[in-house]
Amino acid sequence: MQSVCVACRFKGETPPEAAEVLRQLQPQKPPLSGIFNIDKPAGVTSHDVVQAIRRASGERRVGHAGTLDPMATGVLLVCVGKATRVTEYLMEHAKSYRAEITLGVSTDTLDAEGEVTHRADTVDVSRGEAEAALGTFVGQIEQIPPMYSAVRKAGKRLYELAREGVTVEREPRAVETTRLEVVEWNPPHVTVEIDCSKGTYVRAVARDLGELLGVGAHLSGLIRTASGRFTVGEANELETVVEALVDDWWMLLIHPLDEALLDYEAMIVDAATAQKICHGQRIEAPAPVDAPYARAYSEDGRFIALMRYEEWAQKWQPNKVFAEAS
């Protein structure tokens, strides 16, 4: 069972017209809860976006599902209300990026906002050489996090140490890239598209490419084009979401929280079983085929809970309950 964003039903209509139709269909305004797919503007932090949504909505429970650097744009998923409880699942999703890498210049932050630490006299690199080098980063790889990152070391964020002028040894982290393709070649600028796992630093890819080619490099532009099933083509501008919250037509833009969980199987349960789930009780149902989680829905289509299969009991245990007992 797949939830559908209500905004899709009103494409082509202006927000006020669509909002009026929605008010007629739903005379009682639903509680503010769900996921906003926002195209983060350049020059602001992910925290700035969260704060803007919090101010506009008056809702205290607001969080994002995966930081974007200030210079980056693209998909930033902002969870509001009960949907903050599914942030961790959104963060697990694979990500896609379109990145511009500038060869021949290295910086301390590994991007265009840092101080230049190296400048090559010449950049004599062919497209074939760049593509061959990038090919070594496809698959399961070990990646050293940048010093300017939120990774913790000895109780401090690495970026805090970096701002104090301290450089520390970082442990490599296992990440995975499933696609890394050159889509534009305009040396010294090379634009690549990358599909990767959570925790992958595209800045580190730029650094490692420059080192492998022997000329240095930094990330000069970045767009997150997708986070799981959420794409930048369907994202809304921050100003639009803020306006929708202030003028009370946000329900046309928000995605239901169970869209974070659509990779899991779904089960539809009867009223008595739904009551048990709402009270945190285990239920009997067929064992899962793939993942140990499943979405539970009532017969009338209400999303009830995320369930976890417990092998030892051979029953499903409510992992997170989102509906109230009726």
* CB contact at 8 A, 159 and 216: no
Q: What mean pLDDT is reported for the chain?
A: 90
* CB contact at 8 A, 65 and 91: yes
Domain count of the fold of the chain: 3
Please report the sign of the dihedral spanned by the C-alpha atoms of residue 245, residue 247, residue 251, residue 254.
negative
My answer on whether 17 and 76 are in the same domain is yes
My answer on whether 154 and 99 are in the same domain is yes
Is 121 among the residues known to form the active site? no
DSSP code per residue over 141-178: EEEPPPSSSS-EETTEEHHHHHHTT-------EEEEEE
Name 287's Cβ contacts closer than 8 Å, sequence gap at least 6.
Answer: 309, 314
CA separation (Å) from 91 to 187, 199, 230, 275?
A: 34, 9, 12, 30
* Residue 190 maps to a domain: yes
- Tell me whether residue 275 is exposed, middle or buried, using C-beta atoms within 10 angstroms of its C-beta: 0 to 12, 13 to 18, 19 or more: middle
* Residue 1 maps to a domain: no
Predicted pLDDT of residue 5 = 47
* CB contact at 8 A, 96 and 224: yes
What is the tens place of the pLDDT at every residue in 108-124? Answer: 999 999 999 999 999 99
My answer on whether 47 and 158 are in the same domain is no
Mean pLDDT of 233-239: 97
My answer on whether 129 and 205 are in the same domain is yes
Predicted pLDDT of residue 205 = 96
My answer on whether 208 and 156 are in the same domain is yes
For the chain, the first-to-last Cα distance in angstroms comes to: 22
CA separation (Å) from 66 to 41, 75, 138, 201, 296?
A: 15, 9, 22, 12, 26
Predicted pLDDT of residue 145 = 84
CATH number (domain holding residue 105): 3.30.2350.10
Predicted pLDDT of residue 4 = 40
My answer on whether 203 and 244 are in the same domain is no
User: Structural domain of residue 277, as residue ranges?
Assistant: 264-321
My answer on whether 73 and 162 are in the same domain is no
Q: Which of 39, 69, 111, 195 is catalytic?
A: 69
CATH number (domain holding residue 285): 2.30.130.10
E strands in the chain: 34-40, 62-64, 73-80, 95-103, 105-107, 116-119, 139-143, 152-153, 156-157, 173-186, 189-196, 217-227, 230-231, 236-237, 265-269, 293-298, 303-310, 315-321
What is the C-alpha to C-alpha distance for residues 94 and 228, in angstroms, rounded to an integer?
A: 5
Predicted pLDDT of residue 13 = 56
Q: Which of 242, 259, 276 is the last residue of a domain?
A: 259
* Residue 326 maps to a domain: no
* Residue 281 maps to a domain: yes
Predicted pLDDT of residue 325 = 72
What is the tens place of the pLDDT at every residue in 77-98? Answer: 999 999 999 999 999 999 999 9
* CB contact at 8 A, 323 and 305: yes
pLDDT grade for 61, boundaries at 50, 70 and 90: very high
